[in-house]
Amino acid sequence: MKFHVKKVSILLGICLVFFAFTKTVSAQTCSNTEECNRLIQEYQNEISKLQGQASTLKNQIAQFDTQIKLTTVKIAQTAEQIKMLGGRINQLGDSLAALTEAFNSRAVETYKLSKFENNLVYILTAYNIEDAVSKFHYLEKIQEEDQSLLKRLEDAQTTYEGQKADQEVLQKQLKTQQANLNAQKLAKNNLLLATKNDEVKYQQLLSQAKAQLSAFQSFVTRQGGASILSNQTKCNDWGCYYNQRDSEWGNIGMGGSSYTMANYGCLVSSVSMVASHYGKNIKPGDIAVSNDAFVPATGYLYHSFSVNGITVSISSVSKSIIDSELSAGRPVIAGLYSGPDHFIVLTRKDGDNYIMRDPFMENGAGSDGSGRPLTDKYSFSDITSLRLVSFN
């Protein structure tokens, strides 16, 4: 049985790095499991209370601040668990090393004795028959003890591997918590940037979100609902076609809200399609799970946000530049009806026909993913607004 003590040292080193990273945070929040649990419950209760209050900018910022405190405490708690587990793994490593050394020594002795077990020469040359019998009985006893030692060694190895697996889970959890903390801070900053910390601007933003989401829902209702579809993504030289109702992301609530991609994700999916044309790896699901890309609890996409390390900027422009943009090889996002109620991507113009990629229609870019005529479902007069998307 093989055991590498060096692996234990490496594992503990990683653990200490993680703990060192969060040590300052831990000192500011909680120093033991009981205190951490108390603070976690306190912050969770505070968040629930804030969520039941009026939708004001002050209230939303308070929710962010409390959520940040909650996540910070959870990070401290996880780091402490990793530290304690590292100590147990260290002890197990020492125990395994000692058991392994003992087993190896016994195995050598047993091997030497076992060589004589069926050796007639040894019997014939023994000092006397009693001496030979005594050695055989000793061999039998030591073999029984070896079996017991082997069982202890196997049990210790199993426990050690289980502890290592637990540590890996905790380290992944810590990494996720740290990412969540960064996202929460960014979401707070994005809200302050969008509103300029002004309550009036915040209420205007909420009104815009409410109107836009209502328009999206109106469109979906007219289509008979937003059932989930499968295997809709198609990629070619132009880029990728994405459908908001695809099972890969259709049930995701955008920005952690109750507004699902299937019902409200036409703009998100359109942005992802344009991103793919420019070689940017941004799938609809990537945007949907980014809380900092949306006005909190609304599923309403900011005009500027970052995802996968890429900054996305959406600007509204005149419908009159559609042809010039398409002629230059730049796809545009077209808003349909007065809401706009729906967004599609226009990729090019063939003669008098505009070619689209519709994120709601099943196979909305045609069966081969090359696009389908706008007039398959809409008319040019249905286009009421235009969005351009840039990436940095």
Answer with the residue of higher pLDDT: 135 or 153: 153
- Pairing relationship of beta strands 310-317 and 332-336 according to DSSP bridges: unpaired
Rounded to an integer, the average pLDDT of 217-238 is: 97
Contact indicator for 93, 175 with CB cutoff of 8 Å = no
SS3 197: coil
- pLDDT the model gives residue 86: 79
Q: In degrees to the nearest 10, what's the CA dihedral of 256, 261, 264, 266? A: 130
Alpha helices in 30-56 (DSSP H): 33-51
Tokens of 181: 């903390």
Tokens of 294: 């949306």
Rounded to an integer, the average pLDDT of 93-122 is: 61
Token look-up 């419950």 returns: 41
The answer to whether residue 149 scores a pLDDT higher than 70 is no
CA distances from 144 to 114, 115, 151 (A): 13, 17, 11
- pLDDT the model gives residue 354: 98
Residue 3 pLDDT grade (very low, low, confident, very high; cuts 50, 70, 90): very low
Q: What does the alpha-carbon distance between residue 93 and residue 44 come to, in Å, rounded to a whole number?
A: 38
**Using one digit for the tens of pLDDT, what is the confidence trace for 263-293?**
999 999 999 999 999 999 999 999 999 999 9
**Using one digit for the tens of pLDDT, what is the confidence trace for 35-87?**
889 999 999 999 999 988 989 999 999 999 999 999 999 999 998 888 888 77
Give buried/exposed letters for 107-139 (b at 16+ CB in 10 A, else e). eeeeeebeebeeeeeeeeeeeeeeebeebeeeb
Q: For the chain, which domains are there?
A: 5-195 (1.10.287.1490), 199-391 (3.90.70.10)
Contact indicator for 169, 70 with CB cutoff of 8 Å = no
Rounded to 5 degrees, what angle do the CA atoms 168, 169, 170 make?
Answer: 90
Count CA atoms within 13 Å of residue 280 on its CB side: 22
Contact indicator for 234, 365 with CB cutoff of 8 Å = yes
The answer to whether residue 88 scores a pLDDT higher than 90 is no
Backbone dihedral angles phi then psi of residue 352, each to the nearest 5 degrees: -95, 0
Answer with the residue of higher pLDDT: 79 or 321: 321
Mean of the per-residue pLDDT values of the chain: 85
Residue 19 pLDDT grade (very low, low, confident, very high; cuts 50, 70, 90): very low
Q: What does the alpha-carbon distance between residue 194 and residue 355 come to, in Å, rounded to a whole number?
A: 34
Q: What does the alpha-carbon distance between residue 357 and residue 366 come to, in Å, rounded to a whole number?
A: 8
- pLDDT the model gives residue 12: 37
Token look-up 């703990």 returns: 19
Rounded to an integer, the average pLDDT of 119-141 is: 58
Q: What does the alpha-carbon distance between residue 229 and residue 243 come to, in Å, rounded to a whole number?
A: 8
